[in-house]
Amino acid sequence: SQQGEEDPQALSIQEGENATMNCSYKTSINNLQWYRQNSGRGLVHLILIRSNEREKHSGRLRVTLDTSKKSSSLLITASRAADTASYFCATDAKSKGSTLGRLYFGRGTQLTVWP
Amino acid sequence: DAGVIQSPRHEVTEMGQEVTLRCKPISGHDYLFWYRQTMMRGLELLIYFNNNVPIDDSGMPEDRFSAKMPNASFSTLKIQPSEPRDSAVYFCASSPSTGSRDTQYFGPGTRLTVL
């Protein structure tokens, strides 16, 4: 499977702490994305990092990508209770003409931030 | 922009009944995706379209499932006959063909319960 796999499956922290989630994948990619899903809602795109990038920031989010290890991490700094959600990584399929346009999602990390 | 619109938001039906889920993608987006999400299997891609043409339907569970996209602003996912194991949240997503092509925009989902 080309799906990304997030680790850990669940993470519970206190407000103000940093949250780190990891993603591993199996095949070559053009880019990797992170999505967030609040309970009962659809997924929302957070950030995209391309295969030639190593690190990217967006507000309190920091994403790293190591293509040699086929892994990525999402760091949320100074977490808030409102960050409680499931976080998914998604990869595209490089050089897969028949599947161009689709993404491969992992199972997600459930983050709980306690006030 | 109103985002991806799905209807109904909730559907409860009895086994054997036909179910039709509807999706209106974001205007101008060329890709449309149908996903199913369950606790057991996570987020599964069922089928996706590019310019109204089905590109990959390998995720469609069986012949009871069918999807159509008669025009650029409307798609349906039909289950006939429905079974209890079809109970899940079904998401529609769309993405543009240029620019942020790789980013998918999800609808709020349809929660289907088959009794």
Q: What is the pLDDT along chain B (115 residues), one digit of tens a residue?
A: 689 999 999 999 999 999 999 999 999 999 999 999 998 888 999 999 999 999 889 899 889 999 999 999 999 999 999 999 999 999 999 998 755 567 899 999 999 999 9
CB spacing of B56 vs A98 below 8 angstroms: yes
Q: b or e along B92-102 (b: 16 or more beta carbons within 10 Å of the residue's beta carbon)? A: bbbbbeeeeeb
Q: Which chain A residue is nearest to residue B108, measuring alpha carbons?
A: A42
Contacts of B43 in chain A (CB under 8 A): 43, 88, 105, 107-108
Q: What is the pLDDT of residue B83?
A: 96
Element (H, E) at B76: strand B74-79
Q: CA Rg, chain A, in Å? A: 14
Contacts of A45 in chain B (CB under 8 A): 103-105
Tell me if chain A has a CB within 8 Å of the CB of B55: yes
Q: Which residues of chain A have pLDDT under 70?
A: 1-3, 93-100
With H, G, I as helix, E, B as strand and everything else as coil, classify residue B89.
Answer: strand
